[in-house]
Each structure stands twice: as C-alpha cells, then as structure tokens.
Amino acid sequence: MTKQTDLFGEERSRAEKRMRGLEREIERHNRLYYEQAQPEISDREYDALVHELEELERRHPDLASPDSPTRRVGGAPAEGFETIRHAVPMLSISNTYSPDELREFDKRVKRLLETTDPVAYLVELKIDGVSATLMYRSGALEYGATRGNGVEGDVITNNLATLPQIPRRLKRWRGAENASALEVRGEVYMERAGLAKINEERREAGLELFANPRNATAGTLKRLDPREVARRPLRFFAYAVGLVEDYPLPDSQGEILEHFEELGFPVNPQRWRCPDVEAILDIVAEWETKRKDLPYDTDGLVVKVDERRLHAPLGATSKSPRWLCAYKFSAEQATTRILSIEVQVGRTGAVTPVANLDPVLVAGSTVSRATLHNRDEIARKDIRVGDQVVIEKAGDVIPKVVRVLENLRTGAERIYDFPTRCPACDSSLAFSEEEVAVRCENASCPAQIKERILHFATRNAMDIEGLGDKLVDRIVEKGLVHRFSDLYALTVEQLASLERMGEKSARNLIDAIEGSKKRPFPAFVFALGIRHIGESVAALLTAAFPTIDDLMKAQAAEIDAVEGIGATLAESVVAFFANAENREEIERLRHAGLPMALGKEEMRAIRLRERAASDASNPVAGKTFVLTGTLPTLTREEASERIESRGGKVSGSVSKKTDYVVAGEKAGSKLDKARQLKIETIDETRLLRMLGEG
C-alpha cells in the first residue's frame, strides 16, 4: 500500500467517524427541539452542524447514511396518540441570517425561474410556536395533527378543537359539498402573559416551570386530556395550505391569507407584500427591535414567493421548499460579568462548565447563568472569572457567552482551573484525548443518578409524567431512589410525605410509573441511557435482537454487523451489559414487569420484512435503490415504503453499491452520476413490476 493510499484511507476513516458523530448530535438536537421543546443550541448553530454533514456527504456520498438527518424533518410522532400520514409532507424552512444570504435566496429564485425581473414576496412574522395542520372536508373539521417528523404526525383533533380560534365548521365553503378537501396549516402559540400566569400556578404547586412559551405550548398539546388543554391559553394563526382537492384557491399567498379570514381563521395582521428583496430588508431593519413590543415571541420573518403559480417550477429539496425561506433575527445580546464558574454532571458523567453571572436582562428575562460548553471552549475564548463578557440567548432561549471584552480587564480576573475531582461525589475526573468531554466515571455519583432518572422518565423513554427536576432532586436526596428499579417500589405514602407533594399528586405519579410498564421495548432500551444509543439506534438494536437476553448476549461483531450501527456503538452496548451492576439492574426491572421483548405486532412486521428479503424470487430483496425526480403516481415516501417492505433498501445518494436508480420527471444530478457509474436506471412502471404490483 502506498503512502498516498494510506493517507486517503485515514481521511475517509476520519470523515466517516465525524459523519456518524454529527448524525447522532443532530438527531439529539432534533429530539430536544421537536419532541421535548427544550433546545440547547441556536438555529444558527444547528444549521452549521447540518451544513457540515451535508458537505461531508457531498465529498463522500458512499459514506452517507440512508436515514441521514439531512434528509428528514422534525422529530418522531409521540406515543399515546393515533399517527397519521400527512397527505402533503410538512417540510421545514431553510434559514438565512444576513442581508447577503437573503439576497442570495432571491438570486437563486430568479435563476430557477430563469428571469431577471424582480420577484414579489409576501413577508410574514415567524411565530415561535408549534406547527399544526387541520383537514377540512365539505367544510367540516375532519382531524387536526402535529407536524411530527414531517411525514407522519399525531392526531390531536380534540386538543386543537379546544382553541376558540379554530372553527369546527368553516364560515364559507367554495368546494363541492361532498367531495372536496382543504388542509389549513398554522402555528399554535402562547403569549408571554399567558406563560407567566401558568408558571405562577406551577410555582405555587411546586412543579417545574416552563422555560418559554414554545415549551409550554408543546407540552400542552401533548396532554392526553383535552380538558387540561382547554385550561391553557393557547392561540392559533393560519398561514398555509396543505392538501387541496376540488377547492378553488386564490392566486397569491396574500390572497390566501385573506381567504382564511373569510373562512373564520385568525391570521397574523403583521404581513407585507414586497415588490423585491430590498423592500424585505427594510422590514427586517424595522422589526429587529419592534418585535419586542409584540405580546408573543417571534424569532424571524418568513419570506414566500407571493404568486402560487411559481411554486411548482421552483420545487423543493427533500427537506424544504425552494419558494420560501426564513430570515432569523439576531439574538439579543447584553454585557455582564462572570462572578464564578462551576461544573454540572450529566447522566453519562459528562462534566459541563457553567458561568454564574451578574444578573442581566436579555430578551425579556433575567439571566444569571450561561453555558460554557466544555473546557476547550473556555481555553479557546480565554474566559476568566471576573471577565466582562457579551452574552446572548441562543435562539432567544439558551444563554451562552459569546465573547470576552478583553479591553475591560483590570488584572484582577482569574484563570479558571478545571477541577480534577467530581463536585458531586469527589471521584477523580477522567480526561481523554479522544473527546472533548471530561467525565466522572463513578456510576453511583448522585448527580448522575438524578440525570439518569430524568432521562429514564422522558416522554420518548418511559414517559413518566410528573417526574420533573425538582421532584427527582427530592427523591434522590431523601434516599428513596438510587436506580431505575427503585421507582417501581415507591409508595403513595413515601411520596405524599415529601414537601409540596400531596396525596393526589403522589397517586398520579404512582399511576404514571405503573403505566410506563406498557411502553414498547425500543423505548425501554433507549431509557437505559446506554452511551451513544439514541431512539433510532435503539429501534435498530431491538429489531436485530428482539429480547433483552438476545441483546445482553450479543457480541460486538454481531452488533456491528447490523446496518446503521458501527463499531463505536457496538462497543458501547457490549460495555454496558458487561457491567455486573447493569445486568443486576436489568433483572430488577424484569421483576418489576418492564418490557423485555418486542411485542407480537412488532415481531410480525420484522418477520414479514425478513421473509421478503430472503425470498430468492424477489427481485427487490437485498437491492439498493436511489430515487430521483418526481414519479408519476408514487410519492418518494410511498416508493421507499414499498421497496423496504419487500426487503430492499433505499439510499439518498448514488454510489457503486447502488443497484438501481428510479428516475422520474426532472431527475437531477443523481441520474447523471448513475450514468457515469453505469448503474441501471428504471422508471416507476419497471419498479412496480419488480414489486409485483405492475
């Protein structure tokens, strides 16, 4: 092997490792934003992660994962609600952050439309809430749903129907009385005054406070009891259409919003028709500061090509339409002083530094703490105790230190020495050259216990409603809970004796803990908190190893062989189950009645896929397909679902491992690459014949 070849191999290895790491990080932030309404980073930081992954996928298309987060939108549908497939996918919106980026968007629109004439846009405030869709047939509300992952969402009709702004029957109906459909999409939100009232009630009840209006809105819509939703001050603005069948619509976005008002929907009055991009920038300049006078939160402007006839030729990427974008307002900043720095310990033992600040008002709330991310970040920015610093709320939510004002230093500032021992248990901290994080490796560390219990109880894990930060602090400090299994031994009497915990609240929590035993097996595996194992990986693991005993006995090579799981993840799983204390905990949880295997329906679906894949006469089994362009009758999601149900695989990029490229109208660069690599290209008719449907 030549030195050049060796270096190329090392570069690919580094790229693959970084790509897998970015995928896990982006998926984590997707869950935090879409499903838990608890973002940790700003939109700008999130977009930077996505762009880095997109660039690596462009340079190494054969290393791209078929289910890469660059190809998907949003989070998973929630448990407890019926799931529905959106008739028209609810795509995300691409972001711009500067006038130059907005002008570049305008140039791209003109280039795609092959025109040099100015393009008119409709500009609307981007409300910081939760997207929802409402399906009306013959003028009556058929169902309402969340955005979910963009393809599927949760049916929350009864919850949405509690909002007085959402009509059960439309005031006017232009379509055929018994046939037509109109899907209205919009934003559910809460005003800041409403949040303040709710948080005051929660403070008196000893409950965890909502961080912001969006967090409160998302949490409310996930409630299973519509009566509880009705007590929350939710509001709604309509802003777009989804599926339209036999229903005549106006020719522009501005006129559609006016028509929504005629139908009985509230529409944000803050909207403007701009003849060109420069007019948009005038609105940007005005509303950067004026937005603070609004009673609700808005983090930007949505810019849409106003003429609807231009939307189809502009088309969409797999994630977002090309005829609209969001302009994100800059985060509000303030200057303050770092009083001290301390570290917090997470559930995996990762130690995160936090700055205690001289309290300062930022984006409408008083900030006294800000994340410093890690020790490398402290060194890179040369952050010292006593420094005057500029802070901002990332996405107007998460406070962070942007930069140090070095010119204001007096000489009294102190360099921060990162601790060598855990602040919670006094164990030695582990420093590794392979990762940025510093860790406490003591599994009995009380700080880790609290974080692990909180993770175990989250909605996407065991979904134990009512088990929040403050209550977990109390039950751990009182010695009632040291591990997951202790939760299932708690009694109403023990909980009712805690401060601010009455018998009714205690009973509700015990019922929620008991109800968690009905959670699916993949959720249980995710709840265990195995390092690097998120929801999607837990689903892959349990499909390959359908019982906890299968998973506990699996060797690293067997786990590594599962598609979508690499060596690092495999080693993490093996290490977790090699720990005697973890195995003992599994047995305690088994005895408590938690799910230790896939259910019958889940097993049946897996067996059907395996049977299809092993059928020698099945021309799809084991083959890799790439879809490009618009197919005559199938959506891309439908085609993917049918291929996978017959044992095939669908990839997002063309490589030498691709067996077939399915090309539709306006096929792009993937078709060109298929021809270069001499990969067989087929149309929808041929695909349907291979699937046994033609």
Q: pLDDT, tens digit, for every residue of 550-588?
A: 999 999 999 988 866 777 788 889 988 998 888 999 999
State the sign of the Cα–Cα–Cα–Cα dihedral 22, 24, 28, 31. positive
Q: CA nearest 160: which of 90, 223, 80?
A: 223
pLDDT (0 to 100) of residue 386: 94
| Domains of the chain and any CATH numbers | 3-71 (1.10.287.610), 83-328 (3.30.470.30), 333-439 (2.40.50.140), 446-592 (1.10.150.20), 616-690 (3.40.50.10190)
Distances in Å between the alpha carbon of 539 and those of 58, 65, 85, 515, 546? Answer: 27, 16, 20, 21, 10
Average pLDDT over residues 584-606: 84
| Between 538 and 133, residue with greater pLDDT | 133
Distance between first and last Cα of the chain: 49
pLDDT (0 to 100) of residue 32: 64
For residues 487 and 462, the answer to whether their CB atoms sit within 8 Å is no
Quick: pLDDT tens for 213-222. Answer: 888 898 889 8
pLDDT at 244 over 80: yes
Helix locations, 343-414, DSSP H: 375-381
| Between 210 and 260, residue with greater pLDDT | 260
Q: CA nearest 459: which of 27, 21, 46, 75?
A: 75
pLDDT at 290 over 50: yes
Helix locations, 31-79, DSSP H: 43-59
DSSP-assigned letter for residue 402:
E
For residues 690 and 620, the answer to whether their CB atoms sit within 8 Å is yes
- Put simply, whether the predicted model's pTM sits higher than 0.75 gets the answer no
pLDDT at 374 over 80: yes
pLDDT at 75 over 80: no
Q: Please give the mean pLDDT across all residues of the chain.
A: 84
pLDDT at 31 over 70: no
| Between 38 and 48, residue with greater pLDDT | 48
State the sign of the Cα–Cα–Cα–Cα dihedral 284, 287, 292, 294. negative
Quick: pLDDT tens for 76-102. Answer: 444 557 888 898 989 889 888 889 999
Average pLDDT over residues 587-591: 95
Q: pLDDT > 70: what percent of the chain?
A: 88
* 472 CB neighbour count, 10 Å cutoff: 21
**What tokens appear for 439 in the block?**
């860790």
Q: CA nearest 654: which of 4, 60, 238, 74?
A: 60
pLDDT band for position 261 (cuts 50, 70, 90): very high
pLDDT band for position 430 (cuts 50, 70, 90): confident
Token pair 């020698």: residue: 616
| Between 694 and 100, residue with greater pLDDT | 100
pLDDT (0 to 100) of residue 38: 58
Spatial separation of the C-alpha atoms in residues 182 and 298, rounded to whole Å: 27
pLDDT (0 to 100) of residue 586: 94
Spatial separation of the C-alpha atoms in residues 603 and 543, rounded to whole Å: 8
Return the bridge partners of 337, or none.
388
Largest Cα–Cα separation, the chain: 79
pLDDT band for position 270 (cuts 50, 70, 90): very high
Spatial separation of the C-alpha atoms in residues 110 and 492, rounded to whole Å: 65
Quick: pLDDT tens for 467-500. Answer: 888 899 889 888 899 899 999 999 999 999 988 7
Q: CA nearest 97: which of 44, 39, 49, 33?
A: 44
pLDDT at 602 over 70: no
Q: Which residues of 339-363 are buried (b: 16+ CB within 10 A; e: fewer)?
A: eebebebbbbbbbbbbbebeeeebb
| Between 215 and 155, residue with greater pLDDT | 155
DSSP-assigned letter for residue 597:
B
Quick: pLDDT tens for 661-687. Answer: 999 877 777 888 888 888 999 988 889
Distances in Å between the alpha carbon of 677 and those of 200, 660, 671? Answer: 63, 11, 10
Residue positions annotated with a catalytic role: 126
Local structure of 116: helix, strand or coil: coil
The DSSP bridge pattern shows strands 398-404 and 388-394 to be antiparallel
Q: pLDDT > 90: what percent of the chain?
A: 37
Average pLDDT over residues 507-524: 92
Quick: pLDDT tens for 606-648. Answer: 665 555 555 556 788 878 888 888 787 777 767 877 887 777 7
Average pLDDT over residues 373-387: 90
pLDDT (0 to 100) of residue 295: 92
Quick: pLDDT tens for 99-117. Answer: 999 999 999 999 999 999 9
Spatial separation of the C-alpha atoms in residues 271 and 252, rounded to whole Å: 13
Q: Which own/partner pairs from 283-286 qualify as long-range (CB within 8 Å, at least 24 positions apart)?
A: 283/123, 284/99, 284/102, 284/327
pLDDT at 68 over 90: no
Angle at 217 between CA 220 and CA 293, to 5 degrees: 150
